[in-house]
Amino acid sequence: MDHHVQCDCCQVDAVGDDRFLVEWGHNLGEQGSYRLHVTGIAAAITAWTSFAEDDRTAFNTHDWKFVTEA
């Protein structure tokens, strides 16, 4: 996945009703980002933690969607 976006940031946003958006990319997504919608803060923290610990095996098990801003 890294060939699309250099990753230097990862953030978690609450989007309502116990749903969270986990997003990672470069320059806060200006060049595109990978996004993952999850239910529950535990799932969001798990995805974020695998990024923070540079655990690519765990990180790549999630269903990330690549998004570019037009």
Return the closest-CA partner of residue 41 out of 12, 8, 11.
12
Domain residue ranges of the chain, discontinuous segments joined by +: 9-65
Tell me the per-residue pLDDT of 18-65, one tens digit each, with 9 for 90 and over: 999 999 886 655 677 889 999 999 999 999 998 888 888 888 899 999
Is there a contact between 10 and 27 (Cβ–Cβ < 8 Å)?
A: no
Within 10 angstroms of residue 54's Cβ, the number of other Cβ atoms is 8
Task: Note if the pTM is more than 0.85.
Answer: no
Cα radius of gyration (the chain)? 11
Res. 1: pLDDT tops 70: no
Report d(CA 9, CA 26) in Å as an integer: 6
